[in-house]
Amino acid sequence: MNKTLGKTNIEVSPLGLGCWAIGGQFTLDGIPDGWGEVNDKESIEAIQAAIAMGINFFDTADAYGVGHSEQVLGQAVKERRNEVVIATKFGYTNNEATKEVFGRHDVSPAYIRQACERSLRRLETDYIDLYQIHVGGLSQEEMNSAIETLNRLREEGMIRSYGWSTWDAARAEQFALQSEGAAIQHPLNVLRGDAEMVSVCERYGLTSINNSPLAMGLLSGKFNPDSKLPDTDVRGSRHEWVTYFKEGKPVPAFLNKLEAVREILTSDNRTLVQGALAWLWGRSSAAIPIPGFKTRKQVEELAGAVARGPLSQEQMVEIEEILKPDIVLEHDRSRPQ
Ligand SMILES: NC(=O)c1ccc[n+]([C@@H]2O[C@H](COP(=O)([O-])OP(=O)(O)OC[C@H]3O[C@@H](n4cnc5c(N)ncnc54)[C@H](OP(=O)(O)O)[C@@H]3O)[C@@H](O)[C@H]2O)c1
C-alpha cells in the first residue's frame, strides 16, 4: 500500500500530514498566516499517534510558525527518525525574532545552504528526505540555479531528494525535464481539480503531493454559512489567495458544491473528510494528500481513510458530472511567489 517518492526508493504512506497549522502564530507580510492557538503537547501526541497508525510522511516548511512547526515535528519524531519521511520547504525570507515571513524570496546558493542548515537544526536531524522549493513562481534562471544547489546538497547527503511547491503546470513540466526532482506539491481537492498538473506528475513519474486537500477544512462539513473564523486564523485573514473562506466565512458556493456530492463522498461509511481523501486517491495513483491537523482526534479520522481506499471510478465520474462545469481551475496567483 505504501508508495515511493517519485523515482526514488523513499517509501511513504499513501497519506501524509501537513504541519502548517501546528506552527502557531506568525504573519506573512503583516497579515496572520497561522491557524489560531496551538498546543505543542497535543501536536506531538497527534504526530506520534499518526506514526502508530502507519502514517510516516510529514510536510512542513521553515516559514510555518517561522520554524516552530519544524521544531515541534523534530521533537515528535526524534526517537523514530528512521521510520519517518520528512519534507520541508525553503525560499521565503523570514525573521525568527519577530515571527514574520516576508513576500520576498531568496533561492541563491548561499541562502539555500543556510536555510537547509537551519532546518536541520530545528528538525534535530542530519538529513531532510524531501527538500522543496516553497516559491511557486521562480524565473527560469532562478530555477536553474536552485536545481544545481539542490543536486549539490543531495550529493553531500544533507537531503535525500527534492521537489517544488508550485501551482504552475508549465513550470512543473520544465522542472521535470531538467532535474531529478521527485515531487511537485500543489493544491488539489474535490473542489479544485487541476488536470494539467496531475497529468504532468503522471507523465514524468513525479509524486503529486496535494496540499489543502480538505479545502482548508471546509470539506469536513463542520462549517455552515454563518460560521465565522477569527482574524487570527489564516481563514479569517485578508489574504486574497485564501479561496474557500472570505472574511472568515466559508464561501457559500463551495458549501453548496459539497452538499451536491456529500452522499457520494460519505458512501461506504466514510466521513466527509475521509471521502475527500478517497477522491484524491481515485483521481491519481501519483496523489499523496497531506491534510493539516491540530489534534489526535483529527489524525485518527484522517488515518482511518487509508484502509477504505479510493472512491470507485463510477463514483469519480458521478462527481465529475455533478461538479464539472464549476470545477475551480483558477490559481493562487496572488500568493507572493
Ligand atoms: N506549499 C504551499 O504553498 C502550501 C499551501 C497550503 C498548504 N500546504 C501544506 O498542505 C497542508 C494541508 O493544507 P491546509 O493546511 O491548507 O488545509 P487542509 O488540509 O485542506 O485543511 C486542514 C484543516 O482542516 C481541519 N481538519 C483536519 N482534519 C479534520 C477532521 N478530521 N475534522 C474536521 N476538521 C479537520 C483542521 O482545521 P481546524 O481544526 O482549525 O478547522 C486542519 O488544519 C499544510 O499543513 C501544509 O503542509 C502547503
DSSP secondary structure, 157-193, as one string: TSEEEEEEE-S-HHHHHHHHHHS---EEEEE-BTTB-
On whether residue 324 sits in a domain, the answer given is no
- Counting ligand 1 atoms within 8 A of each CB, the residue from 254, 265, 298 with the most, and so the one to mutate, is 298
**Integer CA distances (angstroms), 236 to 11, 12, 245, 250, 322, in order:** 36, 33, 7, 10, 29
On whether residue 108 sits in a domain, the answer given is yes
Tens of pLDDT along 265-295? 999 999 999 999 999 999 999 999 999 999 9
Backbone angles phi, psi at 170, to 5 degrees: -65, -45
Ligand 1 neighbour 297 (Cβ under 6 A): no
For helices 68-77 and 40-52, angle between their N-to-C axes, nearest 10 degrees: 50
Counting Cβ atoms within 10 Å, is residue 219 exposed (0-12), middle (13-18) or buried (19+)? buried
Torsion angle defined by CA atoms of residues 129, 135, 139 and 144, in that order, rounded to the nearest 10 degrees: -10
Ligand 1 neighbour 92 (Cβ under 6 A): no
DSSP assignments along 192-206, one per residue: B--HHHHHHHHHHT-
- Closest atom of ligand 1 to 20 CA is 45
Q: Which three cell numbers stand for residue 228?
A: 465565522
On whether residue 7 sits in a domain, the answer given is no
- Of 265, 185, 187, the closest CA to residue 219 belongs to 265
Ligand 1 neighbour 289 (Cβ under 6 A): no
- Counting ligand 1 atoms within 8 A of each CB, the residue from 17, 105, 220 with the most, and so the one to mutate, is 220
Ligand 1 neighbour 212 (Cβ under 6 A): yes
Ligand 1 neighbour 70 (Cβ under 6 A): no
Tens of pLDDT along 311-326? 999 999 999 999 976 5
- Closest atom of ligand 1 to 214 CA is 20
Total number of domains constituting the chain: 1
Which pLDDT tens digits describe the chain residue by residue (337 residues)? 799 999 999 999 999 999 999 999 999 999 999 998 999 999 999 999 999 999 999 999 999 999 999 999 999 999 999 999 999 999 999 999 999 999 899 999 999 999 999 999 999 999 999 999 999 999 999 999 999 999 999 999 999 999 999 999 999 999 999 999 999 999 999 999 999 999 999 999 999 999 999 999 999 999 999 999 999 999 998 898 999 999 999 999 999 999 999 999 999 999 999 999 999 999 999 999 999 999 999 999 999 999 999 999 999 999 999 997 655 444 444 455 3
Q: How many CB atoms lie within 10 A of CB 323?
A: 18
**Residue that the C-alpha cell 517561522 belongs to:** 66
Q: Which three cell numbers stand for residue 54?
A: 502507519
On whether residue 36 sits in a domain, the answer given is yes
On whether residue 196 sits in a domain, the answer given is yes
Q: β-strand 128-133 against 100-105: which pairing, if any?
A: unpaired
- Closest atom of ligand 1 to 21 CA is 43
Ligand 1 neighbour 302 (Cβ under 6 A): yes
On whether residue 147 sits in a domain, the answer given is yes
State the residue range of the domain holding 165.
12-216+284-311
Rounded distance from Cα 155 to ligand 1 centre (Å) = 33
We report the CATH number of the domain holding residue 100 as: 3.20.20.100
On whether residue 238 sits in a domain, the answer given is no
On whether residue 292 sits in a domain, the answer given is yes
Q: Which amino acid is at 41?
A: K
